[in-house]
């Protein structure tokens, strides 16, 4: 595999994003909502750097199954969300690929009565978006490659890597 983003670069960028969030959320109590399972490591590292009161919620939004490297039908499970009606939401995801997942999740959170929804993605894949969507915070822009590590997986493996790697074509588990 080829290391695309090393561990120290991720750590520094997470610190920078937290600094931006601390400035932008001053005076507001908010809820950080992580999209399972890919955002867990990003969420854990980021929330430890947030200086303002916040809740944490999780939701499952998945369009990849098993060894698939292209998205399918989005399945949403919001059973792990706290009450968000009237709350400011920071929605975290590991990667912005086509834009379909994030746009649908944002619409769903607004439908649940969120006061506002800001989005933060660790990675933004260039050249893959099919749905117009602009995240509020972006960690890194990356080329159109299937990546793993720092929470991102292939067939539920490689999440443990502390860096972002490009998965070679034809990789089998």
Alpha helix locations (H) across the chain?
7-24, 40-47, 100-111
Q: How confident is the model at residue 70 (pLDDT cuts 50, 70, 90)?
A: low
Residue 170, phi-psi category: left (phi > 0), alpha (psi -120 to 50), beta (remainder): left
The residues facing 5 across adjacent strands are: 164
Q: How confident is the model at residue 65 (pLDDT cuts 50, 70, 90)?
A: low
**pLDDT for 2:** 83
Strands (E), the chain: 2-5, 30-36, 54-62, 75-77, 88-96, 116-125, 137-142, 147-148, 164-166
Residue boundaries of the structural domains of the chain: 7-66+73-147
**pLDDT for 72:** 65
Per annotation, catalytic residue among 97, 153, 157, 165: 97
Is 3.90.330.10 the CATH classification of the domain at 7-66+73-147?
A: no
What is the Cα–Cα distance from 146 to 143, expressed in whole angstroms? 9
What is the model's pTM?
0.89
- Assess whether 97 carries a catalytic annotation: yes
From the centroid of its chain, how far is CA 160?
Answer: 16
Give the tens place of pLDDT for each residue, 156-171. 899 999 999 998 876 6
What is the Cα–Cα distance from 155 to 68, expressed in whole angstroms? 8
What is the Cα–Cα distance from 48 to 131, expressed in whole angstroms? 32
Backbone φ, ψ for residue 75 (5° rounding): -115, 125
Residue 68 pLDDT more than 70?
A: no
Answer yes or no: are the C-beta atoms of 21 and 50 closer than 8 Å: yes
């Amino acid at each position: 595999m080829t290391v695309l983003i090393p561990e120290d670069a991720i750590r520094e960028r997470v610190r920078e994003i937290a600094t931006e969030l601390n400035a932008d959320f001053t005076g507001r109590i908010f809820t950080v909502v992580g999209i399972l399972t890919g955002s867990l490591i990003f969420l854990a590292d980021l929330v430890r750097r947030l200086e303002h009161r916040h809740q944490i919620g999780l939701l499952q939004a998945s369009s990849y199954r098993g060894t698939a490297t292209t998205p399918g039908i989005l399945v949403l499970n919001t059973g792990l969300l706290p009450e968000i009606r009237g709350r400011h939401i920071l929605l975290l995801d590991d990667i912005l690929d086509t834009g379909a997942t994030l746009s649908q999740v944002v619409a769903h959170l607004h439908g649940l009565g969120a006061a506002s929804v800001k989005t933060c993605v660790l990675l933004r894949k260039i050249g893959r978006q099919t749905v117009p969507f602009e995240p509020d915070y972006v960690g890194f822009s990356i080329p159109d490659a299937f990546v793993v590590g720092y929470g991102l997986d292939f067939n539920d493996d490689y999440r443990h890597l502390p860096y972002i790697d490009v998965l070679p074509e034809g990789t089998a588990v």
